Amino acid sequence: MQSSQYLNQLHTADKLSEEPWPEDATLYQPFEAEQILLPENASCLAVKAYLKMCNLPFGIRSCANAEHMSPGGRMTKLPFIRAGAFLFAEFEPIVNFVEQKDMAIGSWQDEDEKADMRTYVSLVENIFTMAELYVSFKNERVYNEVTAPRNGVVYPWPLNLIQNYSKRRNALRQLKVYQWHDLNIDHVIEKVAKCCETLEYKLKESPDTPFFFGDQPCELDAIAFGHLFTILTTRLPNMALAQTVQKFGHLVEFCRFIDEKYFQMRCLQE
């Protein structure tokens, strides 16, 4: 079902390729301060970074039922963007839509470099999203003190309990599909560390440039920033993910650079 929805979004994007970017494009997400969860926040920030790198105008609308308004997706279903009369959810479909309008960053890359870059994007999205879901829903302290209260905050009792049960069940099912459910925290951290090593090695290949593939940004820069920055700046009872990322100084500096250039949130300490 999710795969069908994903393909439908790509088909819709193809039909819209001739239309200009809508001035009233709006990004929908949960409330940041009290509701949004770690994996959702990372995905939303990745899309915001990408659109900013493309220099495309967009508004942001926070709403309690953003997840249920979404047309669907493979991972978090969020964010979704309304472009005219059409909706696109999650990072890749939104990127594909922008690319088909010839407004995308990374158009300077040749086909081999694009294929290489997309391999990194897939790695980043899969590893970090699964790790974020694992910590949010499998770690009991994080779930009880952060995930459940935030996810249920917009619902009255007992609807909040039902919503939390459904959300956790779906997250655990997703972890099973990707074969993360039976891992322990050490194995999760090992996977995250290996992904960080791969990213840092790629970043070091061009020591005189601030981005992963030279002196211009591409979608890897956006999605890596979204996940790394969110992990580094989200306070949880278990900070194992953040402590792992902090060991990779080049990635921390990369996040600081992207933040300063496009957001100026200045949440990372020197």
Q: What does the pLDDT read at residue 13?
A: 47
Q: What does the pLDDT read at residue 2?
A: 52
Query: Are residues 47 and 97 in contact, defined by beta-carbon separation less than 8 angstroms?
Result: no
As a whole number, mean pLDDT of residues 89-103 equals 90
Q: Could you give the dihedral angle defined by the CA atoms of residues 246, 172, 169 and 161, in that order, rounded to the nearest 10 degrees?
A: -30
As a whole number, mean pLDDT of residues 214-235 equals 96
Cα 233 to chain centroid, rounded = 14
Domains 1-100 and 111-263 belong to one CATH topology: no
The 10 Å Cβ neighbour count of residue 238 is 16
Domain ranges of the chain: 1-100, 111-263
As a whole number, mean pLDDT of residues 120-130 equals 98
As a whole number, mean pLDDT of residues 90-104 equals 89
Cα 179 to chain centroid, rounded = 20
Q: What does the pLDDT read at residue 167?
A: 97
Query: Are residues 212 and 220 in contact, defined by beta-carbon separation less than 8 angstroms?
Result: yes
Top CATH class of 1-100 equals: alpha beta
First to last CA, the chain: 45
Top CATH class of 111-263 equals: mainly alpha
Average pLDDT taken over every residue of the chain: 92
